[in-house]
Amino acid sequence: QVQLRESGPGLVKPSETLSLTCTVSGVSVSHYYWSWIRQPPGKGLEWLGLVYYSGATKHNPSLMSRATISIDTSSNQFSLEIASVTAADTAVYYCARGLGTDGYNSHFDFWGQGALVTVSS
Amino acid sequence: SYELTQPPSVSVSLGQTASITCSGDKLGDKYAAWYQQKPGQSPVMIIYQDAKRPSGIPERFSGSNSGNTATLTISGTQAVDEADYYCQAWDSITYVFGSGTRVTVL
């Protein structure tokens, strides 16, 4: 079955770079669209961006170009980096599988368990 | 930027019907999905393409989408349905989530 698992440091200092990796099993990342979504404590969901197997990406403009998403098909993983983090970036970060960006298939059918990242000195 | 608006909370008596709305400009021209999230857990997709249920999702969950409003209906609400619910759509640039609705079962 399809499984996603986020990994990375749980604590990042302000102004530094947040880095997370999503390891996918049960399906090749060389298909579908792979997204990062976050949820600040007690708040709602925010889509951050996606990567396609070709390396093409789409980002949420709200992140002001601070986010970089990449894919490693040989390891069946994809990654997220957010530069110059502040306390506002503290959140649970989820990776998720998307089926497309055509509207009709634009939903997320599999999610990771989430990784809490706290930004604090 | 495109926005989806949901009521912060909905209360429903055990066994009754709960309706959760999601409003956005011409949302009916897009496709809506719905996710259920229980405390400490990841979201689970319960409705996609406005009204389709993934395998394993109970039939008591149904969806519709027309005009500016998508609606998630829970028929015969059970105690296990107490959770946060989020709508979601694609606005051609970004995936957008609604603000979320907490469903309380009385």
Q: How many CB pairs below 8 A link A and B?
A: 64
- Mean pLDDT, residues B82-90: 97
Cα–Cα nearest to A72, from A111, A18, A115, A30: A30
Asked whether the predicted pLDDT for residue B84 surpasses 90, the reply is: yes
Cβ contact B49:A103 at 8 Å? no
Q: Alpha carbon of B14 to those of A9, A77, B19: distances in Å? A: 42, 43, 14
pLDDT given at position A17 = 98
pLDDT given at position A31 = 86
| Total residue length of chain A | 121
Query: Would you call B1 and A108 a contact, using CB atoms and an 8 Å cutoff?
Result: no
Asked whether the predicted pLDDT for residue A103 surpasses 80, the reply is: no
Residue of B nearest to A44 (CA): B99
pLDDT given at position B92 = 85
Query: Would you call B94 and A109 a contact, using CB atoms and an 8 Å cutoff?
Result: no
Residue of B nearest to A49 (CA): B94
How far the first Cα of chain B sits from its last, in Å, is 36
The minimal CB distance from B90 to the residues A62, A101, A114 is found for A101
Which positions in chain B touch A51 (Cβ < 8 Å)? none
Query: Would you call A45 and B100 a contact, using CB atoms and an 8 Å cutoff?
Result: yes
Alpha carbons B50 and A13: distance in angstroms, whole number: 41
Tokens of A55: 């390396």
In chain A, residues 17-46 whose CB comes closer than 8 Å to chain B: 35, 37, 44-46
Query: For residue range B19-39, what is the model confidence (pLDDT) as tens digits?
Result: 999 999 999 999 999 999 999
pLDDT given at position A104 = 81
- Mean pLDDT, residues A11-15: 98
Distance from CA of B65 to the nearest CA of A (A): 13
Distance from CA of B16 to the nearest CA of A (A): 26
Cα–Cα nearest to A29, from A69, A63, A68: A69
Distance from CA of B13 to the nearest CA of A (A): 25
Residue of A nearest to B96 (CA): A47
According to DSSP, the residues that pair with B87 across neighbouring strands are B34
Distance from CA of B1 to the nearest CA of A (A): 9
Cβ contact A95:A36 at 8 Å? yes
pLDDT given at position B93 = 87
Asked whether the predicted pLDDT for residue A53 surpasses 90, the reply is: no
